[in-house]
Amino acid sequence: MPDTATDTPRVALVTGGASGIGFACAQRLTADGLAVAIADLPGERAAANAAAIGALFVAVDLTADGACENVVDQVVATLGALDVLVCSAGYQHIDPIPEFSPERWRHMLELMLTAP
């Protein structure tokens, strides 16, 4: 929805927006007239999905130090604002407990709890 006071589109950032639920959110926000940025891991498919809906693609590992702040700075610098944040980055990993590594657990916590 455009901002009726200025007729400029609202800006949304969708983390994990290149596939799955995040991509569905990005598609809907775009259809509703928002300017959308998708932050996701680097990849041709991710970039192509963003381009297909006219979204800005920011390739990023959100678990890296300073990554979240850098993404916000890049979105604001490119699109002029940030009005909506959808934290959709995440993944499912299933292993028997003895095989579920502490590194995998920490990564999941960093991505799905710390990054947002």
> Closest Cα to residue 68, out of 18, 112, 19, 20?
112
For position 3, what pLDDT does the model report?
Answer: 53
For position 99, what pLDDT does the model report?
Answer: 94
For position 8, what pLDDT does the model report?
Answer: 73
48, 75, 94, 100, 110 from 106: Cα distances, Å:
30, 27, 14, 11, 6
> Closest Cα to residue 18, out of 68, 66, 116, 88?
88
* Distance separating alpha carbons of residues 35 and 13, to the nearest angstrom: 9
Give the pLDDT of the chain (116 residues) as one tens digit per residue.
555 566 678 999 999 999 999 999 999 999 999 999 999 999 999 999 999 999 999 999 999 999 999 999 999 999 999 999 999 999 999 999 999 999 999 999 999 999 98
